[in-house]
């Protein structure tokens, strides 16, 4: 059954320094509408290293689009298996079907997830999307550094994948980072663009916390399955990718459906990006198709 409750505005708790990962109670909350075919694999990457997993999901997109027929059943199954501890169904605010509703709704969902972790006694929290993956050893290292130095905020770099976790987009991401673990202080909250962070991160993932740790890529980085989907159109039509126009989206999807390595990938702006074949770090996704799907080695 679904676990639902009112959003807690405050929850007094012990804020003593957490100097050891054994004393850190880490909650992770996933923000979800589409891409549920990636969720189980993403959770399995971190499940042994976190204490609590929630999913804040919506069955209608930020633009009024219905979810897949599989979404709710997938979530119920993962909750029954113990991979998910708690589910929360969120109803999005749709201000316009043509404008960007995502920022408001994502911020709301991230704060709901934060308060679910707070309600369950977590000392730290991490907001994730279903297409975000971490190497477990790096994830545990990140926890250790944050605990030992009592950092309140952290971020790391990421790299983007195309079609499968062995195809890396050969593009420069500049100074783009993703936020990772936040300490849960009594007043911690996600607040849109509230505080200048030392690196560029999603404005819906910024909190009012201080004392930042920015990890080097050699220490830890996130593997972003940004263009690995069973239904890429669902991702594009339910997100801010819509701004690139339906014609460009159609061309990108056609290229994606017919793509074979070592052809370049195509962005929604029509740009072609080279692909680098890398070692497989994560289990193969069941929905992946193509002649290279079983090759886990490095291609030429």
Domains and CATH numbers, the chain: 26-224 (3.90.550), 230-277 (no CATH)
Q: What is the DSSP letter of 200?
A: B
How far is 18 from 177, CA to CA, in rounded Å? 25
- How would residue 237 be classed by pLDDT, with cut points 50, 70 and 90? confident
For residues 45-71, give the mean pLDDT: 96
List, in order, residues 6 or more apart from 16 with CB less than 8 Å away: none
Bond from prior residue into 170 cis (ω within 30 degrees of 0): no
Contact 223, 133 (CB under 8 A): yes
pLDDT tens for residues 262-299? 999 998 788 899 999 999 999 999 998 554 444 444 44
| CA–CA distance, 209 with 228 (Å, rounded to integer) | 32
pLDDT at 244 over 90: no
Give me the pLDDT at residue 102, please: 83
pLDDT value at residue 2: 34
pLDDT at 167 over 90: yes
pTM of the model: 0.88
pLDDT at position 4: 34
pLDDT in tens, 131-144: 999 999 999 999 99
């Amino acid at each position: 059954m679904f676990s639902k409750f009112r959003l807690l505005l405050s929850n007094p708790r012990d804020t003593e320094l957490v100097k050891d990962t054994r004393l850190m109670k880490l909650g992770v909350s996933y923000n979800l509408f589409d891409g549920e075919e990636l969720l189980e694999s993403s959770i399995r990457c971190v499940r042994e290293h976190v204490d609590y997993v929630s999913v804040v999901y919506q069955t209608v997109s930020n633009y009024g689009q219905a979810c897949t027929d599989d979404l709710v059943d997938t979530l119920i199954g993962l909750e029954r298996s113990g991979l998910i501890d708690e589910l929360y169904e969120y109803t999005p605010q749709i201000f316009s079907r043509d404008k960007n509703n995502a920022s408001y709704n994502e911020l709301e969902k991230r704060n709901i997830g934060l308060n679910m972790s707070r309600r369950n006694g977590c000392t730290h929290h991490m907001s994730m999307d279903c297409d975000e993956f971490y190497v477990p050893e790096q994830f545990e290292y990140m926890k250790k550094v944050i605990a030992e130095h009592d950092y309140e905020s952290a971020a790391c770099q990421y790299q983007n994948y195309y079609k499968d976790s062995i195809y890396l987009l050969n593009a420069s991401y500049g100074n783009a980072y993703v936020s990772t673990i936040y300490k849960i202080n009594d007043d911690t909250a996600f607040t849109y663009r509230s505080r200048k962070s030392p690196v560029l991160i999603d404005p819906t993932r910024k909190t009012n916390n201080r004392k930042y740790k920015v990890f080097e890529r050699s220490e830890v980085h996130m593997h972003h399955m940004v263009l690995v989907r069973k239904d890429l159109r669902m991702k594009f039509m339910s997100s801010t990718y819509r701004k690139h126009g339906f014609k460009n989206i159609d061309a990108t999807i056609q290229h994606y459906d017919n793509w074979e390595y070592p052809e370049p990938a195509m962005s929604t702006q029509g740009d072609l990006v080279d692909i680098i074949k890398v070692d497989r770090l994560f289990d193969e996704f069941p929905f992946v198709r193509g002649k290279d799907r079983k090759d886990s080695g490095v291609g030429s």
